[in-house]
């Protein structure tokens, strides 16, 4: 089903998104270099920098929306481009067709973590990307009740290598989890569409609030790469990040929320918020966080399918308490 949804030759399911990304990394050897998006999911950064760097793999981070910068950073040892778009949590956009073209021209692999969009909103393989990876824990599963991952490949031979890696390292998903995922996917379109409508309302509410300094959401008119995003995706998704005007108000804001829960993860039917600097991205050194624009004032919200008015009322009362 996942191969069909993403338009790939083959899909392999894994026990988690991280297991799926780890399997992809078995395609590389000591000495290889991987060029990545500069605002990568914290767990992926941790896998690359803490676990894999000691094995002799090297990683660099670049703005994947700037194809010239990408081409410049591809060296003799570079074997792959690893891309997220929109990125988590800053909603930076990569130009997928340009990334695929650079990879083809240099004879290296292009890999896209498509977790944030799901195949409903964005299908990277159709734009020339070689490998798509998912944390199916998020939108594909959709109910915060299963941990699963998947790799979908344009080339069946690469898919065979993924199936071998899955078996060899034992990163297999359980039959029950696979069943939960199949059931989750049946409601993917209704969930994603409703959550996206809510996210638009939440983003507009936050953008107009005096306690909020900045909102990151691809559909807002001031998003710097709005056009690039909509040239390759059907929607903006339902993750909204925002900076409070006063970073010191963040703890009070988070603890005052009642409908929206403070928890990691995203892409489920219930709305969740996290504080990336101290939660999902805590393993990224503070200097690097700040260098890419991830400040302690930043909050990330995964907007669910609740009544939008309830979400906005909850955000409003928590902001009032936080800045009082
Ligand atoms: C959650 C997430 C992962 C890791 O997936 P798990 O299923 O939690 O292991 C990878 N990439 C992105 C973008 C994610 O949001």
Could you tell me the CA-to-CA distances from 251 to 88, 89, 277, 318, 322 in Å, in that order?
A: 20, 18, 12, 10, 8
pLDDT of the residue at 227: 96
If you classify domain 189-322 with CATH, what class do you get?
Answer: alpha beta
Cα of 320 from ligand 1 centre, angstroms? 32
Domain boundaries, the chain: 2-185, 189-322
Name the strand (E) or helix (H) holding 141: none
Ligand 1 atom 1 nearest Cα: 135
Per-residue pLDDT of 239-256, as tens digits, reads 999 999 999 999 999 999
Kindly indicate the confidence band of residue 302, based on its pLDDT and cuts at 50, 70 and 90. Answer: very high
Q: Pocket of ligand 1, candidates 14, 18, 64, 89: which has the most ligand atoms within 8 Å of its Cβ, to mutate?
A: 18
Quick one: pLDDT at residue 131?
Answer: 98
CA 18–ligand 1 middle distance (angstroms): 6
Q: Mean pLDDT throughout 4-21?
A: 98
pLDDT reported for residue 115: 98
The pLDDT of residue 281 is 83
- Report pLDDT digits (tens) over 182-240: 999 999 999 999 999 999 999 999 999 999 999 999 999 999 999 999 999 999 999 99
Band (324; pLDDT cuts 50, 70, 90): confident
Taking CB atoms and a 6 Å cutoff, what residues make up the pocket around ligand 1?
16-18, 41, 43-44, 84, 88, 113, 115-116, 135, 137-138, 147, 149
Share of residues in the chain with pLDDT > 90 (%): 91
* Residue range 22-46, pLDDT digits in tens: 999 999 999 999 999 988 888 999 9
Q: How far is the CA of 17 from the centre of ligand 1 (A)?
A: 5
Judged against a pLDDT cut of 90, whether residue 88 lies above it is answered with no
Contact 151, 20 (CB under 8 A): yes
Mean pLDDT score, 85-108: 96
- The region, left, alpha or beta by phi > 0 then psi within -120 to 50, assigned to residue 107 is left
| 15, 16, 43, best to mutate for ligand 1 pocket (most atoms within 8 Å of CB) | 43
159: pLDDT strictly greater than 90? yes
Give the strands of the sheet with 272-274, arranged side by side.
212-216, 239-244, 298-302, 272-274, 261-262
- pTM to 2 decimal places: 0.96
What is the CATH architecture assignment of 2-185? 3-Layer(aba) Sandwich (3.40)
Q: What is the pLDDT of residues 64-81, one digit of tens each?
A: 999 899 999 999 999 999
From atom 8 of ligand 1, which residue's Cα is the shortest distance away?
A: 17
Q: Tell me the average pLDDT across 296-306.
A: 97
Whether residue 166 has pLDDT greater than 90: yes
In this predicted structure, the answer to whether residue 168 has a pLDDT above a threshold of 90 is: yes
Joined together, the tokens standing for residue 291 give 């260098």
CA-nearest of 150, 161, 144, 195 to 6 is 150
The DSSP call for residue 210 is T
Pick from 82, 85, 115 the residue to mutate for probing ligand 1's pocket: most ligand atoms within 8 Å of its CB.
115
Residue 283 confidence (pLDDT): 81
The rounded Å distance from CA 9 to ligand 1 centre is: 23
Q: How far is ligand 1, taken at its centre, from the CA of residue 23, in Å?
A: 14
Burial of 318 (0-12, 13-18, 19+ CB in 10 A): buried
Residue 42 alpha carbon to ligand 1 centre in Å? 9
* Count of other CB atoms within 10 angstroms of residue 211: 19
């Amino acid at each position: 089903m996942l191969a069909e949804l993403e338009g790939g030759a083959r899909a392999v399911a894994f026990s988690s998104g991280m297991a799926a990304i780890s399997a992809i990394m078995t395609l590389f050897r000591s000495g290889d270099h991987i060029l990545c998006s500069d605002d990568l999911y914290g767990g992926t950064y941790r896998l690359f920098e803490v676990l894999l760097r000691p094995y002799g793999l090297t990683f660099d981070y670049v703005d994947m929306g700037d194809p010239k910068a990408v081409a410049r950073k591809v060296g003799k040892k570079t074997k792959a481009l690893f891309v997220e778009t929109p990125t988590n949590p800053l909603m930076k956009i990569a130009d997928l067709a340009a990334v695929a073209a650079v990879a083809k021209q240099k004879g290296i692999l292009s890999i896209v973590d498509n977790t944030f969009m799901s195949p409903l909103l964005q299908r990277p393989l159709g734009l020339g990307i070689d490998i798509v990876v998912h944390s199916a824990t998020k939108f594909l599963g959709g109910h915060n009740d299963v941990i699963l991952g998947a790799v979908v490949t344009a080339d069946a031979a690469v898919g065979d290598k993924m199936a071998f890696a899955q078996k060899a390292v034992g990163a297999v998903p359980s039959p029950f989890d696979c069943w939960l995922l199949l059931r989750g996917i049946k409601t993917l379109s209704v969930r994603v569409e409703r959550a996206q409508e809510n996210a638009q309302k939440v983003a507009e509410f936050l953008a107009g609030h005096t306690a909020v300094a900045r909102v990151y959401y691809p559909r807002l008119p001031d998003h710097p790469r709005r056009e690039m995003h909509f040239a390759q995706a059907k929607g903006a998704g339902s993750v909204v990040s925002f900076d409070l005007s006063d970073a010191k108000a963040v703890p009070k804001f988070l603890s005052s929320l009642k409908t929206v829960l403070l928890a990691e993860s995203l892409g489920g039917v219930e709305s969740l918020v996290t504080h990336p600097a101290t939660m999902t991205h805590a393993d990224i050194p503070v200097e690097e966080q700040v260098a890419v624009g991830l400040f302690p004032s930043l909050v990330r919200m995964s907007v669910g399918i609740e009544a939008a008015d309830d979400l906005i009322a909850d955000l409003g009362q928590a902001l009032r308490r936080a800045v009082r």
